[in-house]
Structure 1
Amino acid sequence: MEECLICGRPLVYKTTEQPVECVVCHRRFFSRVSCEGGHYICDDCHGKDAIAWIEAYCLRSEEKDPVAVAKALMDQPYVHMHGNEHHVLVGAALLTAYYHSGGAVSFDEAMAEIVRRGREVPGGACGFWGACGAAVSAGIFVSVVTGATPLSQDAWGLANTMTSRALAAIGGIGGPRCCKRDSFTAICQAVSFCREKLGVTMEMPESIECTYYVNNNQCLGRRCPYHPKSSGRKQEKENT
C-alpha cells in the first residue's frame, strides 16, 4: 500500500504549513504534508522521473485513446499511486489522443507547454485549493490547444469551462482523493468536451476498470465508478 516513498508509513496532512526539508534534495520548504515519520519529498523530486517518462512516451505514441495512454503511463514504476505527476499525465494523455485523432496542433511544442504548466500545479491542490490537479491539467490541455491567454475571449471561456466540468465530476464522486480516479474522470469529461466544443472525436474504451486500487489505502471501493465491483464503471463512457 503506497504511502511514504521512504518508509511506507501513512502521510499526515495539516491545515497550516510547517518548515520541512526534502529528504532527497535537502532543500527547505514550507509544507502541510509529511509522513508519520517526518519524511517529506518535494514535488520536484517526487515527480521528476515520472514527468520525464510521461513526455517521452507520449511523443512516441500514436494512440487515439487517452485512457489507454494514461494507463500505459500509470503502469510505470515512476508514476506513483498519488502525486503531482498526474497534473502532467492527464493533459499529456489528452494531447496525444487529440493530435492523433486529427486535432490541429503543433504536437511537440504543445506537449512541452503542457509539461511546463502542469508541473507548476502542486501536490495536494485538490484538498488545499479546492481544485484537483487532474481537472486543472484538463483545463491546461484545452488552453494549450486553443491558444488561450488571460486576454482571450472564446478560448479563455473554453479552458475555464473544461476545468469546471472536470471539477464538478470529480467533486460529485467525493473524497478522499485518488489520483487515478480523478485522472480517469477528468479525461472522460475532456473527451466529451472536445467532441462537443472542438469537433475532435477521440477513441474511448467501453468501460474503465481500475487495477491500481490495491495500492490505495483510501480507495472508495464500490463508491468509485472505476472499481471492478462498482456498477457505475460504464457511467462516464455513457456520458461521453
Structure 2
Amino acid sequence: MKRGEGACLVCGQPLQYFREAREMECSVCHGKFKSYASCKQGHYVCDACHEKKGLEAVMRECGESGSKDPIHIIQTVMQDPYLYMHGPEHHVLVGTALLTAYHNAGGELDLAAALREMEARGSGYPGGACGLWGCCGAAVSTGIFVSIVTGATPLSGKPWSLANQMTARALDAVAQLGGPRCCKRNSFTAAQEAVLFTQENLGVSMKLPEKIVCRFSDENKECIGKKCPYYQKKWER
C-alpha cells in the first residue's frame, strides 16, 4: 500500500495501540514480534517491513542531494509514495538529511559512510517510542547525527555531551508543540533545532527556509491544524 491510502499498510484501517505488548505475526514477512499496535482488523506490519521501501528513497535522495537545507531534503523525500505519513523511517530521514546538508555546507564528513551508519542506528529505534517511551525518534535522530559528526561514543567527553544536548533540545521543542504525534511536524521541528545547534556548537552553517509549510495535513487524521506552526489550509497553498 502506498502513502495516503490509510494507516494500516494491509487494509487501510486506522491503528489501535495497546498499553501492554502483544505477540503478533507480521502480515508481510510473517515473523513473530512483540508489538503495541495493530489495525482494527488485527493486521500488524513490523518496523523493518514498514520502512523498507521508504528507507530506499531516503538513502537515494540523501546520497545525491546537493542542498544545504535539511528541511528541503526532508520534504523532497517525503514526497515519495512509500514515505508514509507516520512511521519509523522518519527516525532515519531526519539524521540523513542533516548529514547531507552538513556535508554540503562544508562539514568534514565521509558522507557515504555516515549515511550507512545513520541508517543502521536509526533503524534500531522502534516506531511508537514517542508515546511509549516518551522520546520521539526524530529528536533521537538529531542526537545520532551529532554523535556521528563528532565521533561520539559512550566513553567520549564533549562529543558525548553534545549528542545528548542535541537530543534534549530537539525533544523539548517537539514536546512543547503537544500531541498527538505527527512524524512530519516532529521531523521539521527536530531538524530546525539541529541546524541552530550545529551552527552554535560545531561552526557549520546549514540553511533553513524562510517559512516551513507542511503539505501533508490532509493525510493526517490527527492533525492539530492551526496549533501546528507549519499548518496551512489547503486553499491557502
With the length of structure 1 as denominator, give the TM-score of the two structures: 0.94
1:85 and 2:81 matched = no
1:222 and 2:236 matched = no
**CA shift for structure 1 position 78:** 1.2
What is the rounded CA distance, in whole Å, between the counterparts of 1:56 and 1:210 in structure 2?
Answer: 22
1:29 and 2:40 matched = no
Match of 1:4 in 2: 8
**CA shift for structure 1 position 205:** 0.4
Match of 1:234 in 2: none
1:183 and 2:202 matched = no
Work out the percentage of aligned pairs sharing the same amino acid.
Answer: 53
User: Deviations for 1:189-216, whole angstroms, at most 9, x for unmatched residues?
Assistant: 0000000000011111001000001000
Q: Where does structure 2 lack aligned partners over 5 or more consecutive residues?
A: none
Match of 1:167 in 2: 171
**CA shift for structure 1 position 4:** 1.0
What is the rounded CA distance, in whole Å, between the counterparts of 1:3 and 1:100 in structure 2?
Answer: 35
**CA shift for structure 1 position 57:** 1.4
What is the rounded CA distance, in whole Å, between the counterparts of 1:53 and 1:208 in structure 2?
Answer: 22
Q: Where does structure 1 lack aligned partners over 5 or more consecutive residues?
A: 230-240
Q: Which amino acid aligns with 2:218?
A: V
Match of 1:235 in 2: none
**CA shift for structure 1 position 3:** 1.3
Off by >6 Å, runs of 4+ in structure 1? none
Match of 1:70 in 2: 74
Correspondent of 2:143 among 139, 142, 151: 139
User: Deviations for 1:97-146, whole angstroms, at most 9, x for unmatched residues?
Assistant: 00000011111111110110000000001001111000000100000000
Aligned length: 229
Match of 2:101 in 1: 97
Match of 2:208 in 1: 204
For the residue of structure 2 that corresponds to 1:94, the secondary structure is helix
What is the rounded CA distance, in whole Å, between the counterparts of 2:126 and 2:112 in structure 1?
Answer: 24
With the length of structure 2 as denominator, give the TM-score of the two structures: 0.95
Match of 1:237 in 2: none
